């Protein structure tokens, strides 16, 4: 397993990224997350990057991909805790995290997950 | 600028993605010591991450050198990325804003350019690539 902690709380997996990940380590986290989703059949995934001081194009792309992969497995993903410096830098870098649910912090992220899972009205079709 | 002077303060060899992290941490520390704002530190370190990764991915091996840069009216950090890799054919074209390249190279270079105050690139097929960036205090 990677050095990153994965917490299973109820139906959700929460991953606080606390270390600076080099590219291979980040890819390993992606693989481990998918393994953990498969093993636990989690319905929600929160990736907390509030301790991450740099998100470059590689990590940004990897996070976006991970969310898409999780969704293909039936797990909604929310990215939380992007710092303001990181957000400004990402946009100026020209990187746009597309199709990704984000929230300010862990608490808001968990609320968003609840809404994503249960908040849709009957018959609403997701793109 | 009437006069300018630089002093090398760090050199990090780049061979793998772990070395990219070492370069980032070194530049972060020096940027903090110089007194760059947290936002400018983040911009500079992100640019360093993109450019050092280009060395690891496209050239396999190279060097990152960091300089304290002083000119008559200001001070900053200069970071030089040098490799003897395959080089970039038609580097001007790659650096054009509208030009879309496959893979990470174009986005990394152009993105890095937007995050710093000065950006110079020199590259030719078979002659490696040198990128020089400056972030002013």
Closest CA to B52 of B42, B39, B40, B61: B61
- Determine which of A54, A59, A90 to mutate to test the interface with B (most B C-beta atoms within 10 Å): A54
For the stretch A24-31, contacts whose Cβ atoms lie closer than 8 Å and that sit 24 or more positions apart, written own/partner, are: A24/B17, A26/A58, A26/A59, A26/A62, A27/A62, A28/A2, A29/A2, A29/A4, A30/A62, A30/A65, A30/A66, A30/A69
Nearest-by-Cβ selection for B46 from A22, A24, A54: A54
CA B51 to chain centre: 5
* Per-residue pLDDT band at B96 (split at 50, 70, 90): confident
How far apart are the C-alpha atoms of A33 and A12, rounded to whole Å?
Answer: 12
Confirm whether A22 is domain-assigned.
yes
Q: What is the pLDDT of residue B1?
A: 53
Q: Give the CATH number of the domain where residue A61 resides.
A: 3.30.750.24
Average pLDDT, chain B: 90
Confirm whether A89 is domain-assigned.
yes
Q: What is the pLDDT of residue B19?
A: 97
CB B77 within 8 A of CB B27: yes
CB A32 within 8 A of CB A8: no
* Per-residue pLDDT band at B73 (split at 50, 70, 90): confident
CB B46 within 8 A of CB B86: no
User: Cβ contact (<8 Å) for A89 and B18?
Assistant: no
Q: What is the pLDDT of residue B101?
A: 59
How far apart are the C-alpha atoms of B56 and B1, rounded to whole Å?
Answer: 34
Segment A3-61, tens digit of pLDDT: 789 999 999 999 999 988 999 999 999 999 999 999 999 999 999 999 999 999 999 99
Per the confidence metrics, is the pTM higher than 0.95? no
Segment B45-58, tens digit of pLDDT: 999 999 999 999 99
Show the domain range for A89: 7-114
Q: What is the pLDDT of residue A2?
A: 64
Total structural domains within chain A? 1
User: Cβ contact (<8 Å) for A20 and B108?
Assistant: no
Q: Which two tokens stand for residue A36?
A: 């953990």
Q: What is the pLDDT of residue B99?
A: 67
Average pLDDT, chain A: 90
Residue of B nearest to A20 (CA): B21
pLDDT of B86 higher than 80 = yes
CB distance from A94 to chain B under 8 Å?
Answer: yes
pLDDT of A120 higher than 70 = no
Q: Which two tokens stand for residue B27?
A: 């530049």
Percent of chain B with pLDDT over 70: 91
- Determine which of B15, B25, B42 to mutate to test the interface with A (most A C-beta atoms within 10 Å): B42
pLDDT of A127 higher than 60 = no
Contacts of A88 in chain B (CB under 8 A): 39, 42-43
Domain spanning B4-136, CATH class? alpha beta
Segment A70-117, tens digit of pLDDT: 999 999 999 999 999 999 999 998 877 777 899 999 999 999 999 998
Query: Domain residues of chain B, as ranges?
Result: 4-136
């Amino acid at each position: 397993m990677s050095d990153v902690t994965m917490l299973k709380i109820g139906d959700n997996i929460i991953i606080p990224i606390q270390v600076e990940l080099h590219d291979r380590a980040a890819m390993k986290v992606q693989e481990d997350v998918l393994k953990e989703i498969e093993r636990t059949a989690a319905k929600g995934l929160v990736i907390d990057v509030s301790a991450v001081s740099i998100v470059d194009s590689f990590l940004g792309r990897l996070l976006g991909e991970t969310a898409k992969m999780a969704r293909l497995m039936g797990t909604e993903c929310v990215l939380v805790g992007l710092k303001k410096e990181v957000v400004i830098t990402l946009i100026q870098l020209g990187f746009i995290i597309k199709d990704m649910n984000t929230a300010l912090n862990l608490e808001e992220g968990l609320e968003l997950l609840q809404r994503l899972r249960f908040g849709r009205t009957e018959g609403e079709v997701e793109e | 600028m009437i006069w300018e002077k630089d002093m090398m303060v760090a050199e990090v060899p780049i061979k793998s993605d772990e070395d990219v992290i070492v370069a980032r941490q070194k530049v972060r520390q020096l940027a903090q010591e110089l007194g760059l704002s947290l936002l400018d530190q983040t911009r500079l370190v992100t640019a360093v991450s993109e450019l050092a990764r280009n060395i690891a991915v496209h050239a396999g091996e190279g060097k990152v050198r960091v300089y304290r840069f002083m000119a008559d009216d200001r001070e900053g950090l200069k970071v030089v990325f040098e490799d003897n890799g395959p080089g970039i054919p038609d580097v001007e074209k790659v650096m054009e804003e509208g030009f879309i390249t496959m893979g990470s190279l174009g986005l990394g270079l152009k993105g890095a350019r937007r995050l710093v105050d000065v950006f110079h690139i020199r590259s030719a097929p078979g002659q490696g690539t040198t990128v020089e960036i400056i972030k002013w205090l």
